[in-house]
Amino acid sequence: MKHTTLFSLTDKQGIKRLGFLNCRLFWIGLTLKIVLSFFFAGEFLKNSFIPFVVYFFDSGFDSPYVYFQEIGDNDAFPYPPMMLYFLGFLGGFASNISPFFIRIPLLLSDIGILIILNRLLKNQSVKLLKYYWLSPVLIYISYIHGQLDAVPILFLFVSAYLLFNKERVKSSVFLGLGVAAKTNLLLVIPFFLLYIYKNNNEKKVTKFLVPCLVLILTFLIVNVPFTESKQFINMVYGNSEQSKIWNAVIPMLGELRFYIIPSIYLILLATASRFKRISNDLLLIFIGFSFAILLIFIPPQPGWYFWILPFFVYFAIRENKFSFLPILVLQGAFLAYFALIEDSDFFSAFLYSQNDFTIYKKLEVFDSGTVNLIQGLALTFLQTCLLLNVYWIYKWGIKRNLEKKIKNKPFLIGIGGDSGVGKSTLTELLTNLFGSENMTIIRGDDMHRWERGHDKWDEITHLSPKANHLYTDIRHLKSLKNGKNIRRRFYDHGSGKFTDQRKVYSNKILVFEGLHPFYISAKRDLFDLKVFVEPEEDLRLHWKISRDVLKRDYTKEKVIKQLQLREADSNKYIRSQASFSDIKVTFYTLNEIASIGNGVDVDLALRIEIENNVDVNELLEHLSPISSIEINHEYATHNQVIDAKGHITSDDIKNAVDAFIGDYDEFVEAAKFVNGLNGFLQLFLIYCIVYNVKHGN
Ligand SMILES: Nc1ncnc2c1ncn2[C@@H]1O[C@H](COP(=O)(O)OP(=O)(O)O)[C@@H](O)[C@H]1O
Ligand SMILES: O=C(COP(=O)(O)O)[C@H](O)[C@H](O)COP(=O)(O)O
């Protein structure tokens, strides 16, 4: 499998990643943005940012922060040095020739954000091109008005993408570079650290501290060349933009002020900390939500909408129930408001005319009260649209995530069945499905009361509840389900001995496999999904004898004797649990087994019995064109039965999973699907899990 980087053109399966390059909308947008870059530039860009960046190069890299403060332009470039380097070296050095050159880094940032959104959204190119790439507001911000917010947002998305791919240190470097491009990104750091902490099962401090140190170091290295000048500190960290965050106040007693924005931000952080896990979606929703909240309480600068629209579009595409209309209306309200303000540059930004026309000037026919009312109504409409978008994102994004079991707290799967039925094999299939870093396995055999060879095994079988510490399992599973780690001994089938107690970490997915998962009601009620494995008896005997002889140092005769001694307990304590299961897995052979226990592989078929709540019809229709596998689906009295014979490839399984898993895909993002009926079993297990969670069964 090829290793692929973030911006490589194809993914691990060699599938073209940059599908949007084939879309005409991309090239229309690119052409429009390039043309606009030659003909439009707002006051800030023309009279401050460009001269500032050009001075840095023309002066032989003297500090422009010092020079511009000395000439009295104290807010010329309220950005830390990373913004200066990124803009300057990628084209800004020539921007005194044309403002197009300082748009090159903005265009690269724009395309970079598009690529990452496309990766995160699994190639939703057309929607992304329509609602992100061709967003009238984002085009106005970068290519007409000329704000620079695309740059820090690129660093933010690169950092988030690396974080989602477990590249914590690289992610911290890019977040540090982002903060060193625009300090607003400081707001994101607590959410990033929460994400790392919540998704770090072992809660190892190093997994948390190292990213923090790397982030701080990156930020300092970028800033160090300028930090000795107070002009730099004044312009970048003491500018009027930052102070706006303190303007939203509620006067209290005397000089006391209640600061609205810090209060809301702390509430957001507290809400995020309530989640046991923070999914990738949730992190991006929280970030966009936080920036949006800040915008509600501060009269907006045009560029700040670059801090929310990419997140709103991401969210609207992810939550396909969410309409794009609120985002489109919000953009309309944005354009209306910024067309009506006194220093609107909708017309004056055009470089090749002295046109200083503004709608505000036309409004001067009215009295000032009417003009203020019109502007106030425009701002009220804009902020109301923003509020509605924020509400819907909370309702469909954050609140729903709180309700989603599989994303917000550990999901506990039980796998039961007699000895040799295939519990461990099925558990391995789940490990391939969810990834070992997302899944913790707990084995029932650890709670046997005695080790192999103990005299007690002459009086009682392993299948008896009396031979196992079943109530310890209940305590352990409850702790793990509540996100707590436990200490537990293990039973080593290689030696037949118990190990010392070891730490067992809670995780997104917990799998308990053993003889008695569903025997005690207090235990079986803990499971979110109950799977019972019961192959046809001849096949089980073949599997059990072959394995115990090959891997557990038994003789065939001893295994057969053990099976005979266990028959009564198996019926009484093990097979009786099948009725409590949500899914029953039955492998069976198509031909008679020539020599039971001789270790050879046999041709298998698979029968899956599922409770009737799960609608599998759409999935089976999706699989029906695959000729290599024969699938039969029948409804029985209390459940439904799916019989599968033949072969199916892991690619077919992956395509079906992608088609039906939707916004739970982050749990199968690193999935290794296997060929054959075991892959078919993986598909049905993840389908049932997601179906039950989505429909609250
Ligand atoms: N789905 C399967 N496909 C092929 N072989 C299987 C499958 N499940 C079990 N086996 C065979 O049966 C043997 C016992 O399976 P195992 O998973 O160890 O059972 P258990 O954990 O229930 O005791 C395995 O060594 C393997 O050879
Ligand atoms: O019944 C089982 C369960 O294990 P599994 O379900 O994996 O077969 C085993 O026979 C006992 O745990 C004893 O194990 P051993 O015979 O190794 O001492």
Beta bridge partners of 629: 646
**Residue bearing the CA closest to ligand 2, atom 14:** 493
Q: Which atom of ligand 2 is nearest to the CA of 491?
A: 12
- What lines the ligand 2 site, CB under 6 Å? 419-420, 423-424, 445, 448, 452, 462, 493, 496, 515, 552
Is the pLDDT reported for residue 3 higher than 50?
no
Amino acid identity for residue 336 in this structure: A
Nearest ligand, CA of residue 589? 1
Task: Provide the b/e sequence for 531-568 (b: ≥16 CB within 10 Å).
Answer: bbbbbbeebbbbbbbbbbbeeeebeeeebbebbeebee
**Residue bearing the CA closest to ligand 1, atom 14:** 420
Task: Look up residue 55 and give its two tokens.
Answer: 């001075």
Is the pLDDT reported for residue 528 higher than 80?
yes
Place of tokens 């558990």: 427
Listed by start position, the domains of the chain span 19-402
Radius of gyration of the chain (CA): 31
Q: Which atom of ligand 1 is nearest to the CA of 550?
A: 25
Greatest Cα pair distance, the chain, in angstroms, is 104
How many whole angstroms separate alpha carbon 324 and alpha carbon 354? 37
pLDDT class of 251 with cuts at 50, 70, 90 = confident
- 261 or 131: which carries more pLDDT confidence? 131
Under 8 Å CB-to-CB from 643, ≥6 apart: which residues? 605, 606, 607, 631, 632, 633, 634
pLDDT class of 598 with cuts at 50, 70, 90 = confident
Q: Quick check: 147 and 34 in contact, CB under 8 A?
A: no
- 443 or 258: which carries more pLDDT confidence? 443
Distance 242 CA to ligand 1 centre (A): 63
pLDDT class of 697 with cuts at 50, 70, 90 = low
How many whole angstroms separate alpha carbon 231 and alpha carbon 243? 17
Q: Which atom of ligand 1 is nearest to the CA of 428?
A: 17
Query: Ligand 2, residues 427, 445, 489, 553: which to mutate, most atoms within 8 A of Cβ?
Result: 445
**Residue bearing the CA closest to ligand 2, atom 11:** 462
Residue 352 pLDDT: 84
Query: Ligand 1, residues 415, 425, 491: which to mutate, most atoms within 8 A of Cβ?
Result: 425
If you average pLDDT over every residue of the chain, what do you get? Answer: 90
Q: Report the predicted TM-score, pTM, of the whole model to 2 decimal places.
A: 0.79
Q: Which atom of ligand 1 is nearest to the CA of 681?
A: 1
Under 8 Å CB-to-CB from 681, ≥6 apart: which residues? 426, 429, 585, 606, 608
Q: What percent of the chain has pLDDT over 90?
A: 62
644: helix, coil or strand?
Answer: strand
| Tens of pLDDT, residues 252-269 | 888 888 888 889 889 989
Distance 492 CA to ligand 2 centre (A): 10
| Tens of pLDDT, residues 320-354 | 767 889 999 999 999 999 998 888 888 888 888 87
**Residue bearing the CA closest to ligand 1, atom 13:** 543
Is the pLDDT reported for residue 403 higher than 80?
no
Is the pLDDT reported for residue 694 higher than 80?
no
Residue 2 pLDDT: 43
Amino acid identity for residue 338 in this structure: F
How many whole angstroms separate alpha carbon 677 and alpha carbon 324? 41
> CB 154: neighbour CB atoms within 10 A?
26
Distance 417 CA to ligand 2 centre (A): 11
**Residue bearing the CA closest to ligand 1, atom 3:** 678
> Is the sign of the CA dihedral 153, 155, 156, 160 positive or negative?
positive
Residue 338 pLDDT: 92
**Residue bearing the CA closest to ligand 2, atom 17:** 493
Query: Ligand 1, residues 547, 563, 584: which to mutate, most atoms within 8 A of Cβ?
Result: 547
**Residue bearing the CA closest to ligand 2, atom 15:** 493
